[in-house]
């Protein structure tokens, strides 16, 4: 990487179009006049003086004063080595002295320390060329996308309670993900953060991969191993806010710098965090460089952008008395919207097949429309309404569910105006919300597991890509605890072991069937079957692929078996059961359709032909169309 900023680089930085600012800001090992050392550069335009303080000078920076040009302070210190601890000693206009970590540090000290560490990101020999070559040809909207969301600090723990390292996860986690049929992992938390129990949403080191689990090169190995096994890597990315820790970005040079000056715009009252100033060009350069940094340096395949709703409005989570408006009189954060559009345009210009996912609970239109058409420019949006509606339904007893089936079918019947990901994420597993299994109603444990099987099968069959949080795949009962490992010991119980077997089988079935993902966002990829009449607890629909691959999905959300049930179909073909969540191997009651069903010329559900099948209780059955021979 280059180090000293050129006048052109600084011009672009201040213009908000410097998208590799990490190449010259921060600390960089280099050689000058045959002498090795470290070049430091930091943006602090309001400081009276900035010095470099560290382990090499007894944390007294007076002998290592930096010089300033155009708001950026620089200094080359000879003979410093990789691994040197440092901070910036910032003297404010009021002669106060702050010790600040480097906003562009590539590595940070393990807690409780907060120093930045001089770190080289070179030296790793990547072996994921095949993955990168294949990825350039992918059209992800027409590919299977089944994401396993992982909190690295609590997926597993060692016997002494210690964390698994990136290297250990590269072996054990990657094997597990491949075995269970997931296509991607989404990792949290990756950027350095202040607490071990953090979910990663209060960041102190945007360019520092967290040191809790190892070094930058060890994290590269984890990503590399994922790619070598055909697994994509997505990271949680947090441009909506940052924490107020004294060593971090907050009032960096004595006054608001990265955050809005107006506290009404610059603070999240509930979260207790600062909001980035999206109207400041240098903040654009910082954040967009950061997004690209993880792709450039660590080969990350995509970003799940957290808390997008809070970036779209000036009054997120504010009381009526605190509400403010923009210059046009509306409540939209016009600068936040413009930033997101710019972010996505830049990302896709460099990485056309990147995954950019908005975690957005708003009704803002066009989240996945291109920015040039007025959209935000993401290629995916989390469908949180799907999550909330389905789980609210599944929590209810059979008596309470009566008449509420439209909660399930709303997402099928409404026009699909976004490219959705259907998430059952960490938010649905954490206290006090209970795990997915903990949310399921049922008169006994069998019904609870059956409810979870039919729900997960419904998720897989529903148009849209999928996300499942760790532990859900084996039916963890307790709330997720970010300070402890998942409850792997429950797999000694046959019910949990059978449920894990079910999820694994369903995942692999999903990957193998183009009808379940190839036309996720095309009208011809889905056809509802009598969705207006769900009083019997049945939700039925068809899924199709490009080459006439066709499946019929039947989900029974009630505990009654339906024998001799007639389903309308369009053509005289055979229909064979290819998946059944009630299979005894999965812990079900074993009600299956053993023989293929030949369509009869018997009109039903507005179709000229029909088949007669058995539908098991609290179960999903998938039938595949087979053309009749002869």
Q: Give Rg (Cα) of the chain.
A: 27
The DSSP-derived string for 532-587 is T--TTSEEEEEEE-TTS-EEEEEEE-SS--EEEEEEEESSS-EEEEEEETT-GGGT
The DSSP-derived string for 60-95 is -GGGSB-EEETTEEEEEEET--TT-EEEEEEEPTTS
Dihedral (CA of 525, 529, 532, 535) sign: negative
Which one-letter DSSP state was computed for residue 246?
Answer: T
Distance CA 575, CA 577 (A): 7
Burial class (CB in 10 A: 0-12, 13-18, 19+), 339: buried
Q: Which residues pair with 380 in a beta bridge?
A: 357
Q: Which residues pair with 88 in a beta bridge?
A: 52, 100
DSSP SS3 for 267:
strand
Distance CA 335, CA 287 (A): 14
Work out the angle between the directed axes of helices 494-512 and 445-461 (0-180°, nearest 10). Answer: 10
Annotated catalytic residue 306:
yes
Q: Which of 306, 383, 405, 418 is catalytic?
A: 306
Question: What's the token pair of residue 24?
Answer: 């010259």
Q: Which of 359, 360, 405, 513 is catalytic?
A: 359
Question: What's the token pair of residue 1?
Answer: 């990487």
Is residue 237 within 8 A of residue 300, CB to CB? The reply is no
Is residue 304 within 8 A of residue 235, CB to CB? The reply is yes
Q: Is the peptide bond before 432 cis (omega within 30 degrees of 0)?
A: yes
Question: What's the token pair of residue 222?
Answer: 């984890």
Distance CA 630, CA 627 (A): 9
Distance CA 374, CA 519 (A): 24
Neighbours of 294 (CB within 10 A): 22
Annotated catalytic residue 433:
no
Distance of alpha carbon 267 from the chain centroid: 24
DSSP SS3 for 188:
strand
In terms of Cα–Cα distance, which of 472, 459, 354, 482 is closest to 412? Answer: 459
User: In terms of DSSP bridges, do strands 302-305 and 273-274 run parallel, antiparallel, or are they unpaired?
Assistant: unpaired
- 196 Cβ contact list (under 8 Å, min separation 6): 111, 153, 212, 483
Exposure b/e, 507-521, CB count within 10 A at least 16 = b = bebbbebbbbbbbbb
Which pairs count as long-range contacts for 14-17, CB under 8 Å and 24+ apart, including other chains? Answer: 14/70, 14/71, 14/281, 14/282, 14/285, 15/281, 16/280, 16/281, 16/282, 16/283, 16/284, 16/285, 17/281, 17/284, 17/285
Q: Which residue has the tokens 């909506």?
A: 240
- 335 Cβ contact list (under 8 Å, min separation 6): 277, 278, 279
Active site residues: 306, 359
């Amino acid at each position: 990487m280059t180090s000293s900023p050129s006048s052109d680089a600084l011009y672009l930085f201040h213009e908000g179009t410097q998208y590799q600012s990490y190449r010259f800001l921060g600390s960089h090992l280099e050689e000058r006049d045959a002498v090795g050392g470290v070049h430091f550069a930091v943006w602090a335009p309001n400081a009276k003086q900035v010095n470099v303080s560290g382990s090499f000078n007894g944390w007294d920076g007076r002998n290592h004063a930096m010089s300033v040009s155009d708001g950026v302070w620089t200094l080359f210190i000879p003979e410093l080595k990789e691994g040197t601890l440092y901070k910036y000693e910032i003297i404010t206009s009021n002669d106060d002295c702050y010790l600040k970590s480097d906003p562009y540090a590539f590595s940070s000290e393990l807690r409780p320390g907060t120093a930045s560490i001089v770190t080289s990101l070179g030296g790793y020999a990547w072996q994921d060329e095949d993955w990168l070559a294949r990825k350039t040809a992918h059209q992800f909207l027409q590919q299977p996308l089944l994401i396993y969301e992982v909190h690295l600090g609590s997926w597993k723990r060692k016997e002494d309670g210690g964390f698994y390292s990136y290297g250990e996860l590269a072996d054990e986690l990657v094997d597990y993900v491949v075995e269970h049929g997931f296509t991607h992992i989404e990792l949290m938390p990756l950027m350095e953060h202040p607490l071990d129990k953090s979910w990663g949403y209060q960041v102190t080191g945007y360019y520092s991969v967290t040191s809790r689990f190892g070094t930058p090169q060890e994290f590269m190995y984890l990503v590399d191993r994922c790619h070598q096994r055909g697994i994509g890597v997505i990271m949680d990315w947090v441009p909506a806010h940052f924490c107020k820790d004294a060593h971090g970005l907050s009032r960096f040079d004595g006054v608001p710098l990265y955050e809005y000056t107006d506290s009404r715009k610059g603070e999240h009252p509930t979260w207790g965090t600062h909001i980035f100033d999206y109207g400041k060009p240098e903040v654009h350069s910082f954040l967009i460089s950061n997004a690209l940094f993880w792709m450039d340096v660590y080969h990350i395949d995509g970003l799940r952008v957290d808390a997008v709703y809070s970036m779209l409005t000036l009054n997120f989570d504010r009381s009526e008395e605190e509400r403010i408006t923009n210059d046009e009189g509306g409540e939209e954060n016009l600068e936040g919207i413009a930033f997101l559009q710019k972010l996505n345009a830049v990302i896709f210009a460099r990485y056309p097949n990147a995954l950019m996912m908005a975690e957005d609970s708003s009704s803002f239109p066009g989240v996945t429309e291109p920015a040039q058409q007025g959209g935000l420019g993401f290629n995916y949006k989390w469908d949180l309404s799907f999550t909330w509606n389905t789980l609210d339904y599944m929590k209810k007893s059979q008596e309470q569910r009566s008449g509420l089936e439209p909660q399930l079918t709303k997402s099928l019947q409404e026009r699909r105006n976004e490219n959705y990901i259907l998430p059952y994420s960490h938010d649905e597993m954490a206290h006090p919300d209970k795990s997915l299994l903990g949310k399921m109603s049922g008169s006994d444990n069998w019904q609870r597991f059956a409810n979870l099987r039919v729900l997960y099968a419904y998720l897989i069959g529903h148009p849209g890509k999928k996300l499942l949080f760790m532990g859900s795949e084996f039916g963890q009962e307790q709330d997720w605890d970010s300070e402890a490992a998942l409850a792997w010991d429950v797999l000694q119980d046959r019910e949990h072991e059978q449920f894990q077997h079910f999820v694994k089988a369903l995942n692999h079935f999903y990957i193998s069937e183009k009808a379940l993902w190839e036309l996720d966002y095309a009208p011809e990829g889905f056809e509802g079957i009598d969705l207006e009449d769900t009083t019997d607890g049945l939700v039925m629909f068809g899924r199709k692929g490009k080459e006439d691959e066709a499946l019929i999905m039947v989900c029974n959300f009630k505990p009654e078996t339906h024998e001799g049930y007639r389903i309308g179909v369009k053509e005289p073909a055979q229909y064979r059961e290819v998946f059944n969540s009630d299979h005894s191997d999965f812990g079900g009651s074993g009600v299956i359709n053993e023989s293929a069903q030949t369509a009869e010329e018997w009109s039903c559900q507005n179709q000229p032909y029909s088949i007669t099948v058995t539908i098991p209780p609290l179960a999903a059955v998938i039938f595949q169309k087979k053309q009749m021979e002869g």
